[in-house]
Structure 1
């Protein structure tokens, strides 16, 4: 499976993380690791995701970009690794 690292900047709302994870799951990706931090004094958060799938990461990128509270999505890195499902 291919692993992909994504950086997502979004507004900090109670439902934002849930929506992001739901899109990841519905698009057929598995979360390998996740880190979320608030950005200073703003109401924004930065979510760093490492996901794995045989599907192209562009499918996930386009769907995450459409979420209302998401301001930016960036594909940072792609690697090929064996992931046990």
Structure 2
């Protein structure tokens, strides 16, 4: 499986992280690493996700972009590291 890194900027609400993780799971991706930090704006958070799946990452990217609380999604270079499921 290929690993992909995504950077997500979203509103800081209790349900935001749960929604992001639900979309990741429903689209068939496995979370390998996650980092969440508050941004300069106290109403926003930055989430860095490393996910793995044989599916195209564009499926996940487009679905995360549609979430109400998500303001920005950026796709970073994929890593060639293989992961066993």
Under TM normalisation by the shorter chain, which class is it?
over 0.9
Please name the residue that 1:8 is paired with.
8
Q: Structure 2 length normalisation: TM-score?
A: 0.96
Q: Structure 1 length normalisation: TM-score?
A: 0.96
| Residues 23-65 of structure 1, C-alpha deviations (whole Å, 9 max, x = no match) | 0000000000000000124300000000000000000000000
Which aligned runs of 4 or more in structure 1 are off by greater than 2 angstroms? none
RMSD value, Cα: 0.8
Aligned length: 85
Gaps of 5+ in 1: none
Output aligned runs, 1:33-72, within 5 Å: 33-72=33-72
